[in-house]
Amino acid sequence: MQDKRDVVLDVDERPAPLQWFGLSLQHMFSMFGSTVLVPILVGLNPGIALFSSGVGTLMYLLITRHKIPAYMGSSFSFIVPMMALMKTTGYPGIAQGTVAVGCVYLIVSLIVSAVGSDWIDKVLPPIVVGPIVMVIGLSLAATAAKDATINGSTYDLKYFVVALLTLLITITFNMYFKGFLGLIPILLGIVGGYLIACLFGIVDFSGVASAHWFSLPDFQVPFVTYHPKFYWGAILSMAPIAFVTMTEHLGHIMVLDELTGRNYFKDPGLNHTLAGDGTASIIAGFVGGPPVTSYGENIGVLAITRVHSVFVLAGAAAFAIFFSFVGKLSALIESIPSPVIGGISFLLFGVIASSGLRVLIERHVDFNQKRNLMIASVILVIGIGNAYLKLGQYEFSGLAVAAVLGIVLNLILPEEARSEE
């Protein structure tokens, strides 16, 4: 637990105006790279993602009574089903799936309010969560490789060189730089890779030149930009993954407890933190953005700067909303060539998969137990292989199928197989 005497600004302290401006802008940029990378990978509008992250953060702060310094950013856990849905249903399916994710959070928050949270650990133990997180990263490996090597339909060595240099820049900032620069390796990797791509002549600036400085993001609002119908396949593909991101949410709250010297599970309560997260995703769904969740990068910034003020977080959210209306910025983000994204993805998707492995190691999951071996094996192969379920017009991604099967197997399999007795 951090000594409060070492804190520059505590949770409820308001900074001076100029300090507030600088700290909030810094915090926003530390969230920027990851927040816009998700829509770039999926094919959503990055301006909408910035807008929804900002509004979602303000709503989260409101629901948690301005007590928790957390930032809501685009969630990487839903990339796999969103990429599949973009090819089939487009924005409407992703929007409904995103709203469904938020609704799952709200339902769980009501259950937690009524009966407590002990049941969450029983439904989602490490043997289920770890392999599912690994699937999220590994199932995207082929996409990263394609972005890094394929120009149109042919292999391009120039693309691969740009991707590898982008990867090298990102690793360098992550490993060898201290302080704030070490907290934003994704953003710096994108910037460095973009400049290299410019030198290689593979960046198209026409969209940036024609974009207006200030313009509305391309909001996808139901009954305004499209007439919605129920996409049950989209809803049932994304909703189960909410349980996975909930475990990340719980982990972030635990770390924030230690960092700030508070107990957020009691005040404002886990039901409020889940409701805030869920409401943020529902808002994102209604404007055409991806699901949002609390960010680990946020915790890193809090730890390094020792600035825990919710006023700084609110300022960062306001900056995100403002930048979402800068048309030139959205066009610049959309002009990032695929090998730069591929280079970032080599590291990012691998880190996601490694995070799942870390869950298994840190929680000392015993793979000599047959039940653990069975659960992990089923989740990994079905999820990575994308053994999707199609029932009529409804399609459920391999990740969703793997998550549900993992939860069911964990609940029904005995602690020990008869052959182990």
Give the pLDDT of the chain (421 residues) as one tens digit per residue.
455 557 788 888 998 888 888 888 878 877 777 788 888 888 888 889 999 999 999 999 999 999 999 999 888 888 888 988 888 888 889 999 999 999 999 999 999 999 887 777 788 788 988 898 888 788 878 888 988 998 888 999 999 999 999 999 989 988 888 776 776 787 788 889 999 999 999 988 888 888 888 888 888 887 677 888 888 888 988 998 898 888 778 878 877 887 888 888 888 998 999 999 999 999 999 998 999 988 766 777 787 778 889 999 999 999 999 989 988 888 887 788 889 988 988 887 888 788 788 889 988 999 999 999 999 999 999 989 988 887 776 667 788 788 889 989 999 998 876 666 5
In a domain, 263, yes or no: yes
Element (H, E) at 333: helix 327-334
In a domain, 113, yes or no: yes
In a domain, 246, yes or no: yes
> Could you tell me if 106 and 247 are in contact, meaning their C-beta atoms sit under 8 angstroms apart?
no
In a domain, 240, yes or no: yes
Number of domains comprising the chain = 1
Q: The domain containing residue 90 runs over which residues?
A: 4-117+156-336
Planar angle of CA 251, 80, 294, nearest 5 degrees: 25
Helix (H, G, I), strand (E, B) or coil at 73: strand
In a domain, 223, yes or no: yes
> Could you tell me if 348 and 171 are in contact, meaning their C-beta atoms sit under 8 angstroms apart?
no
Whole-angstrom distance, CA of residue 118 vs CA of residue 285? 29
Helix (H, G, I), strand (E, B) or coil at 66: coil
In a domain, 9, yes or no: yes
In a domain, 360, yes or no: no
First-residue to last-residue Cα distance in the chain: 43
In a domain, 181, yes or no: yes
